Structures are given as C-alpha cells and as structure tokens.
Structure 1
C-alpha cells in the first residue's frame, strides 16, 4: 500500500515492489509525506517528502507493541534499493530478537556522548590508575591531560582509529622515551575499555609497541657546556635565556618552558613550582643562583604571565628546531675556540645530545663537586633512591639550604668554565 501521514491522518494506496523505476516514478504531495511499502519485504518502504526528498524507511513492531518507524537513509550513495533492502533485513533480524533498532541507535548515541575521550580519561584515572598505579598515576594523568586530551577532546572513544594512533606516535618520533610511555599508557586505557565492553576493539590492537629505550648516559663535557652557554647568545629569544636556565636550575624541560612570573621571587631568589606542575604533585622550591637571577632580571620588565612565550598565551615550543640551531652555533664556537690553539684537529663533531641531558649533566657535576646524593635528588625533585619508599614517607626535610648551596657551587663552576682557556 501507499500511505501518507499528516498530523495524525493516514491514507493508503496499493503497495508495489520498490525498485529504481518505482523510486523514479514516486512523486511528492503537498499534503505531507508519501510512503510506498514494498510487497516483498514487510515493513520496508520509501518515503517522499513534500520537497521531493526520497528516503528508505522500515516500519516494525516489537512483540505486538505499537508500530515504530526508522529511517534507513536518503536514496543515493550509499543507499540504493539493494543496500537499503539489506539494511532493512538486518534490522528485522534484530526485531525478531526483541531488539528495538530505534532504541538501540539512541543508546549508541547516549554511549558515544558519555564515552567521549576526555571524560573517559577521567574515568580511567579514577577507577583504574589510582587503584593499580598508586605511586605513578599522577604522571600518567599528566600524559593524558597534556598529550591525549588536547588532541582528541570530546571525540567518541569508539571513533578513534589506528590512523589516529599512528599520527600520535609519529609526532613523538624524536622523543622515544615519551613515545614509549604514551603508547604504554594508551594501550592500558583502550584494553580497559575493551574489558568493560565500552568499545569492541582497541585502536592499538595489533600495532607494534615502540622499542624499549635504553637508559641514556650522555653527559655534556666542560667544553660542550661552555659552547652551549655561548651559543645561547646567538639563538635569539626565547631560546637563549631558556637553555641557560635549564643549565642553571637543572629542572625538567617542560617545567622551565611553563615557568610563570607568579612563581618567581627575585628578591628571595627562589622559583616555586606549584604541585600541579611537578612530577610528584608536591610544591618544589628551586633556589636561584646569581647567574639565574641575572638571566631573569635581563628579561622583559613586564614580568607577568609566562616567562618563555612568543604568543603571550602558550609556553615556548619548537624544541627540535631550536636544538638544530644551537648545534650549528656550538660547532662554530668550538671551532673558533680550538682554532686559536694552532693544533691539528680532526673534523669537529659534537656527539648527539638532548635537552634532558642538560639535567643529567648538572646532576653529575654536583656529585663531582661533593654534593651528597640526597641533596642532588632534592635539587632535581626526584623521588627515588634515598628519598623513596619508607625513607621518603618519614623524611620530609626539604634540604632548602643545601639546595641553595649546591646550585651556588654549580653557578661558580660554570663561571670558572666560562673564564678558563679551552681544554685540549
């Protein structure tokens, strides 16, 4: 039968087989939607709106209930008479099992809204990470907050594909340690989602994990420290002062990049990182040595907001490009320094180094200067070794005076290196 409905009125006309010819011959009515019901597949039909839009529909009843109608799709790619008929047959199989396709679709939409990636990360932290990673969950949460959430936001968890994972891994190709950590954490998140039947398949399923990263041991030599310091004069804002403060404070790359003037007290000569910006969720006071204070005083007199920024709104970025520029200047500077010695030299090569190696370099030099390991760990804000476990729980001493002395000794050492002659 052919029927149309307008504000409760229903009219019927003889049914016919829905074919391409039927669809082309179907005409709209100014009175309302016109329905053509297929003679071969019960409930399968074609709807034509007053504006002439043609779409496939399915009408059905669940266990003798009232009739319900579901739109399959508008005629045209991908919905042809064949594909729409196959979809109608699939939906009717659900109906025979007592499943309402309309309610199923609504439930899927509700789940997609509830299971957006950002909200699911919060659920993962609350129900899984805090219970299973009691010591390291804050760092895992930071990876989600700083890397994953900004990238995928409120996208449905089920909408994330292998291609999204590949793009993320490619973006961290130059940071293998971070790449490995991100992959490991997301694999746990998606596997947890599969276990809970929130998604069917993890987008990381079958994807090879990044290779384990060998523990780095690179420490810059004294000549390299001098060349790096002097190279900072030539790389421009904000990289020169930024790298020098990396050297002087020994703090993490991102912690220095996100430094805010509200954290700096130049009179007290301290930089206080708030708990939300530290790896162990504890406030960390970094004494500022004379050279560090000098670097900060030489900056903008405005002194509000982010210290290292080119936009005024976001922290400095573009570390790889800055590193390449530093390398070029370091090679030139070391050639000039040794050129004055009139000694035969093989081609100059500076072994590969990373920004994080600056932190290890500082820690190594503190040990060489006779600073106790527990003070070095306090400077680095490490919760490991002498400050981990039971000792860390009961020993709440912050080593503030000792940290100040250690960083002043490091400041003095750098000053001596800068004024010394090149070392053959």
Structure 2
C-alpha cells in the first residue's frame, strides 16, 4: 500500500510492479487511490469508512479522468468526501443510480455532454436515438425507431448481447454502412461512459465491426454525367437539393460542407467561398474559388431563398440551403435520401437518374478524377479537395509554407466547370491542360 504525492508524470508511468495490481495512495487528498493493474489499466478510487466497513468508490479511469483540474480525480475525491462528511454514502448512491439509469439515459447524457461538441453531432444523435434508445430528446418514443432498440435496459445490467442486438437489427435491414457507423458511435459512447465511471467495463472491447465495407471507387463517366445532369431537372426533389448536387460536382467539395454553406462565407463578387475551420472535415480553413457556373448556381439559390422569405414574411435565413422551417441547413443525409429515392430497378438492374447508382461523394471523386484527366496536377487537386495528406504532409508545409495555391485552384476549378458545361451540352471533347495554349 505505497503512499506518494501523485503527479501527472508519476500517473503516466505507474505500473503494477508485483502481483495483479498495485494501489498508490495520494498523500495530498485523503483516500484517493490510483490503481495500476498488470494489464496496464489505471483506475481512480476513493477509499473511505472505518476499516471494518471500508468502501471503495470507483471514480473512473486514467487518463480519461486526469489527476488535477475542476473535473479531475482530486476534485472528484474531495466532492465525494464532502458527501461522506454530510452523512452520505457515495458507493450506495452510485449503485442506486446505476440501477435506475437506462440506456436511454446514457444516450441522452452522451449526446448532451460529448457528441454535441462534434461537427457530426447531429448525425450521431440521430443514429443513437433511432437505433439504440428509440427515444427523442424529450424521452418520447420515436415512430420509426429500430426493432433493436434497448432503451429500457438498465446500465447495471447492460451486456454485450444488448449492443449486438441493436447493431444486428440495422444490419439485418441491409443498411451495412449505417450498421458500421452505429457500431463506431456505440463504441465511442461506451468508452466515454467507462472513462467517466458510469460503466465499470468497456463492453465493446474485442468486438468487431459488423460489416467489412469495400472502399468505393465509383466514377461517373462523361456520358453518365450528361445523362444524370439532364435527368436531375425532372427529379422528384426540391430545387435546392438539385443545386446542392450540381455544386458537389462542380466544386468537388463534400456534400455536408456544401449543405451548410452560409451567405457570410461567400464573396460572390470575388467568386470565393471561405469554409471556416469549424465546418471543414480537417478543421482547417479552406478557400474554394468559385467558377462562373458555381456562382450562378449559388446566386439562383439565394434569390429563391430571399423570395420565399419575403412571401412567408420572415427574415432571410443565414443558410444558402435552408432545410424545412429555415431554422437549420439541409443535411447531407437528406440529400442522400433524395438521391436514393430516385433509384429504380428494371429487369434486375438498378439505376439512379438513368445511370448506375451513385452517391454525392461519388461526384466529388468523379470531379477529382476528371480534373486529373485534364492534366491538372494531383497536388493541386489535393488542395482543391482540402486533403491534409496532400497539403500539410510535412513539417515544412504545415508550419512554414503558407502559400495556398489560390491561382492554381481557381484555374483547375474553372477548367473543370468548363468541361462540365461541354459535357452537358454535347461538346465533351477532352482537351488536356497542356494543349490549352495551342487551341
């Protein structure tokens, strides 16, 4: 039972020097213990009570819970000791809470305290509520919840088979990508709960994702782009959704980033879209030069949004592509559903808008592929796509090289937009970049 003034450095290196576990008692906060197991796990405990009735309250795991800080182990131990001093019993309270808390409570707690801080927080919340808890934020049952929902399972009784049940229900309906993403969401939630001390075990440890997915390589040909673009005008979807799809192809940007576009991010006179770090996938600011075709699509959309707001007698929304009610932007998931609704099967062969099934991300890949076909450098295409692997791969490019290749990106996107215009107007002869000066 070694006693030591715990420090961050010591906690990082603490090991079980003999036996299955070693308990290190902090000399600054009475009863605080760092338990190091032979397997490398480190746990925080508060020990209190007389020797004959010694209680061990688990506070969580290190390093998920640090030593210091407002939410660190020392502060948690002090708070718990204060309850003991007032006649309380934190161990008994924790057991009572665990027996009353359900998976539905865990899902909402996780969404509120952790998932909501992430860029994809809304999608995480949707997946967990639909497929795990089956409840909305108010605790009301969702009409279209999954058959595998485990909302009423007590946290104290939660088992791996319950997690498997929730994920299998998604997989069984053929939504293999959704099943994989749900597995990742649940795994993150369980690890978060274990780190906080809400669960004593990592129930997903050793579990494998439900489906091995193959990386997509779908690229629309020139003929497919022409067919799809023409059929898009007659598709059963909102005009704003059609414009999102066109912009995904013309700008080569991610559908979620296009959907969330705001008027504040745009300088249409300067033909520039400045995507802030908070909305880009890699958390880096991304300047997207806009071709004349892209500017026209956005201007048409802004005009329609303004006209609708005036008819409704409400303020013009900040979003270029507002969703129903104009309180939030349309989501990438909504665009995906709109595309999927256009899928038809004839003689056993499925098509979307007249061509082999495709997704919005396939449009981004298609743009990148055809830009390379035009002779544009893969390095410049990487900057257009805002890929860190291409733009910030070395310490030199991350720290010292600040050139953003705006001129080259603009040339690439305008050349690609011109190619799209030729494709959709029956004049799609390929002219490589090196041949442009001779034409």
Q: Secondary structure at the match of 2:274?
A: strand
> Over residues 97-147 of structure 1, what are the superposed CA-to-partner deviations in whole Å (9 max), with x where a residue is unaligned?
xxx99754434567869x95566679889xxxxxxxxxxxx9x9434x233
Match of 1:390 in 2: 395
| 1:311 shift after superposition | 2.4
1:403-414 to 2 correspondences below 5 Å: 403-414=409-420
Match of 2:40 in 1: none
Q: Secondary structure at the match of 1:217?
A: coil
1:322 pairs with 2:319: no
1:210-249 to 2 correspondences below 5 Å: 210-235=210-235, 236-237=237-238, 238-249=240-251
- Aligned equivalents of 1:165, 1:259: Cα separation in 2: 37
| 1:247 shift after superposition | 0.9
Aligned partner (choices 273, 276, 279) of residue 277 of structure 1: 279
350 and 257 in structure 1: CA distance in 2 versus 1, 3 angstrom threshold: same
117 and 391 in structure 1: CA distance in 2 versus 1, 3 angstrom threshold: farther
Match of 2:43 in 1: none
Match of 2:386 in 1: 381
1:187 pairs with 2:187: yes
The answer (yes or no) to whether the contact 2:119–2:278 under 8 Å persists in 1 is no
284 and 373 in structure 1: CA distance in 2 versus 1, 3 angstrom threshold: same
- Aligned equivalents of 2:174, 2:266: Cα separation in 1: 31
1:306 pairs with 2:349: no
Q: Secondary structure at the match of 1:271?
A: strand
Match of 2:209 in 1: 209
Q: Secondary structure at the match of 2:283?
A: coil
| 1:178 shift after superposition | 6.3
- Normalising by the residue count of structure 1, what TM-score does the alignment of the two structures yield? 0.57
- Aligned equivalents of 1:223, 1:373: Cα separation in 2: 23
User: Which runs of no fewer than 5 residues in structure 1 stay unpaired?
Assistant: 1-61, 64-99, 126-137, 330-334, 336-347
| 1:400 shift after superposition | 1.3
1:142 pairs with 2:124: no
Match of 2:295 in 1: 293
- Aligned equivalents of 1:233, 1:376: Cα separation in 2: 29
User: Which runs of no fewer than 5 residues in structure 2 stay unpaired?
Assistant: 1-48, 51-86, 130-136, 140-150, 307-315, 346-350, 430-439
Q: Secondary structure at the match of 1:187?
A: helix
| 1:265 shift after superposition | 1.9
CA RMSD of aligned residues (A): 4.3
| 1:192 shift after superposition | 6.0
- Aligned equivalents of 2:257, 2:164: Cα separation in 1: 26
1:106-145 to 2 correspondences below 5 Å: 106-108=93-95, 141-143=118-120, 145=121
The answer (yes or no) to whether the contact 1:232–1:326 under 8 Å persists in 2 is no
Q: Secondary structure at the match of 1:272?
A: strand
- Normalising by the residue count of structure 2, what TM-score does the alignment of the two structures yield? 0.56
- Aligned equivalents of 1:147, 1:362: Cα separation in 2: 26
422 and 397 in structure 1: CA distance in 2 versus 1, 3 angstrom threshold: closer
Match of 2:63 in 1: none
Q: Secondary structure at the match of 1:350?
A: coil
Q: Secondary structure at the match of 1:299?
A: helix
- Aligned equivalents of 2:170, 2:382: Cα separation in 1: 31
Structure ID, larger Rg? 1
Does 409-418 or 173-182 show the bigger shift?
173-182
325 and 186 in structure 1: CA distance in 2 versus 1, 3 angstrom threshold: closer
Query: What count of residue pairs does the alignment treat as equivalent?
Result: 295
> Over residues 365-393 of structure 1, what are the superposed CA-to-partner deviations in whole Å (9 max), with x where a residue is unaligned?
11111111121011111111453243541
381 and 354 in structure 1: CA distance in 2 versus 1, 3 angstrom threshold: same
- Aligned equivalents of 2:419, 2:107: Cα separation in 1: 49
- Aligned equivalents of 1:288, 1:319: Cα separation in 2: 22
- Aligned equivalents of 2:327, 2:318: Cα separation in 1: 8
Q: Secondary structure at the match of 1:366?
A: helix
Match of 1:42 in 2: none
269 and 421 in structure 1: CA distance in 2 versus 1, 3 angstrom threshold: closer
Match of 1:255 in 2: 257
The answer (yes or no) to whether the contact 2:336–2:359 under 8 Å persists in 1 is no
